[in-house]
């Protein structure tokens, strides 16, 4: 299957995710993501794609970057990622892939998914609605991964890890300091954290379903205070960065995050020491 990502053409094997690839190929998919990659990834960049899924942004980054390290622990995603890299020989030599799960520490966990692996819902955060959790895997910290693979230089990190960001970010300081604070682009999954709270504190699957339905209907949150407290401590290891941008290019501060940590419900964040004038790239209004 041939797809176009912005102005680049790739060959992919859609595997079980043909509907996702067809959707990505049919619309102007995530223009803010491409704007971020286009600004911060250069021909000299070493890119770390943590949570690469089947490789959509791995492939796009490799068209420009010097080197891309792509990680995904989901066995279906990893197989599709491997195949999609092979189908693009012009950039395949730039890409190294790893079936690796990054977390806050080295431990054995189960990978959960809604109905099946490979459908962009796999998470190391347990949730009651998941029906698949057959895969046991070993996690490592980002610092351990970089050391194990002898990766000395990283210029750009994309992190889209279905909730594991809430474990990784508070312990990421050593790793990003080692590679001199690369630009860090994080996708947040607030709802996964919320579901994980339900899983931990409300053991009954039936009560989980009832309370979550009430929450979705009426907008209240049982665990708002617990989640807010966790988010407020989320960014202590990234305070060395000069700039923080929302995904639409709006610049914010660490004080903004402290006052309104729930903003991550509606925006990804870029932590960087490189200034970004998004008005030259994005035409949609700010959030």
Number of domains in the chain: 1
- Give 85-112 pLDDT, tens digit per residue: 999 999 999 999 999 999 999 999 999 9
In a domain, 250, yes or no: yes
In a domain, 21, yes or no: no
CATH, residue 257 = 3.40.50.150
Q: How far is CA 125 from CA 91, 101, 166, 191, in A?
A: 33, 12, 9, 11
In a domain, 221, yes or no: yes
In a domain, 159, yes or no: yes
- List the chain pLDDT tens, one digit each, 287 residues: 999 998 899 999 998 888 889 988 888 888 999 999 999 999 999 999 999 999 999 999 999 999 999 999 999 999 999 999 999 999 999 999 999 999 999 999 999 998 899 988 899 999 888 999 999 999 999 999 999 999 999 999 999 999 999 999 999 999 999 999 999 999 999 999 999 999 999 989 889 888 888 888 888 889 989 999 888 889 999 999 999 999 999 999 999 998 999 999 999 999 999 999 887 766 544 44
In a domain, 169, yes or no: yes
In a domain, 8, yes or no: no
Structural domain boundaries enclosing 269:
31-280
- Give CA–CA dist 262/185, Å, rounded: 17
In a domain, 16, yes or no: no
> Looking at the whole model, is its pTM more than 0.95?
no
163 torsion bin: left (phi>0), alpha (psi -120 to 50), beta (else): left
Kindly give, in sequence order, each residue whose CB lies less than 8 Å from that of residue 124, ignoring residues fewer than 6 positions away: 73, 101, 103, 109, 110, 111, 112, 139, 163, 164, 167
In a domain, 9, yes or no: no
Q: How many CA atoms lie within 13 A of 56 on its CB side?
A: 21
The phi, psi pair for 134, rounded to 5°, reads: -80, -15
Strand partners, 102: 140
């Amino acid at each position: 299957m041939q797809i176009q990502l912005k102005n680049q053409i790739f060959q992919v094997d859609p595997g079980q995710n043909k509907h996702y690839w067809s959707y990505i190929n049919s619309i102007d998919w995530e223009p803010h993501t491409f704007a971020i990659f286009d600004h911060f990834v250069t021909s000299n960049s070493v890119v770390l794609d943590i949570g690469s899924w089947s490789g959509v942004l791995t492939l796009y980054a490799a068209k420009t970057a010097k080197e891309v390290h792509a990680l995904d622990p989901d066995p279906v995603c990893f197989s599709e990622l491997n195949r999609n890299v092979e189908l693009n020989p012009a950039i395949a030599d730039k890409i190294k892939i790893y079936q690796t799960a990054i977390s806050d520490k080295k431990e054995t966990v189960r990978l959960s998914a809604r109905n099946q692996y490979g459908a962009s819902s796999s998470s190391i955060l347990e949730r009651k609605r998941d029906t698949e959790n057959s895969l046991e895997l070993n996690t490592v910290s980002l610092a351990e991964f970089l050391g194990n693979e002898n990766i000395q230089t990283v210029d750009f990190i994309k992190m889209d890890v279905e909730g594991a960001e809430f474990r990784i970010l508070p312990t990421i300081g050593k790793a990003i300091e080692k590679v001199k604070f690369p630009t860090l682009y994080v996708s947040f999954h607030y709802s996964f954290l919320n579901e994980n709270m339900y899983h931990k504190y409300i053991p009954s699957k039936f009560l989980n379903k009832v309370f979550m339905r009430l929450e979705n209907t009426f907008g209240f949150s049982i665990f708002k205070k617990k989640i807010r407290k966790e988010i407020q401590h989320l960014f202590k290891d990234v305070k060395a960065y000069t700039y923080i941008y929302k995904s639409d290019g709006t610049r914010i501060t660490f004080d903004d995050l402290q006052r309104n940590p729930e903003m991550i419900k509606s925006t990804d964040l870029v932590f960087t020491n490189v200034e970004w004038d998004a008005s030259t790239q994005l035409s949609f209004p700010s959030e």
